[in-house]
Homo-oligomer: A and B are copies of this chain.
Amino acid sequence: MERFVDLADFSREEILDLLALARRLEERPEPRALAGRMLGLLFFNPSLRTLASFQVAMKRLGGDSFVITPGQGTWQLETRVGAVMSGAAAEHVREGIPVLASYCDALGIRAFAEGKDLRADLADTQFRAMAESCDKPLINLESAISHPCQALADWKTLDDLDVPARAKFVLSWVYHPRALPLAVPAAVLHMAALRGLQVTVLRPEGYALPAELMSKAKAAAASSGGSVEETDDREAALAGAHVLYAKEWGSTSHYGDAEGDARLRAGLSDWCARESWFAGARADCRFMHCLPVRRNVAVADEVLDGARSVVKQQAYNRLVAQMAVLHRMLSDTRAGGRNSQ
Contacts and interface: CB of A to CB of B under 8 A. Distances in A.
A245 interface: no
Given A52-B66, A99-B315, A297 B73 contact: no
Given A74-B48, A297-B84, A292 B102 contact: no
Contacts of A92: 293, 295
A223 interface: no
Contacts of A94: 295, 304-305
Contacts of A78: 295
A31 B35 CA distance: 10
A291 interface: yes
User: How many identical subunits does the complex contain?
Assistant: 3
Given A85-B295, A99-B315, A38 B51 contact: no
A23 to B, nearest CB: 13
A250 to B, nearest CB: 15
A90 interface: yes
Given A29-B341, A46-B73, A55-B66, A83 B315 contact: no
A96 interface: yes
A59 B38 contact: yes
B100 A312 contact: no
Interface string A274-301: 0000000000000000011111110001
A66 B54 CA distance: 10
A186 B325 CA distance: 45
A140 interface: no
A316 B43 contact: no
Given A85-B295, A94-B304, A73 B100 contact: no
B43 A73 contact: yes
Nearest to A298: B85
A185 interface: no
Contact of A95 (B72, B291, B319): B291
B73 A47 contact: yes
A52 B73 CA distance: 11
A311 interface: yes
Interface in A44-76: 46-49, 51-53, 55-56, 59-60, 64, 66-70, 72-75
Interface in A302-323: 304-305, 311-312, 315-316, 319
5 contacts: A36-B60, A72-B73, A83-B296, A99-B315, A102-B319
Interface of A: 29, 31, 36, 38, 40, 43, 46-49, 51-53, 55-56, 59-60, 64, 66-70, 72-75, 78, 82-86, 90-92, 94-96, 98-100, 102-104, 177, 291-297, 301, 304-305, 311-312, 315-316, 319, 341
- 7 closest Cβ pairs, A-B complex: A91-B292, A85-B294, A29-B341, A99-B315, A102-B316, A84-B296, A55-B66
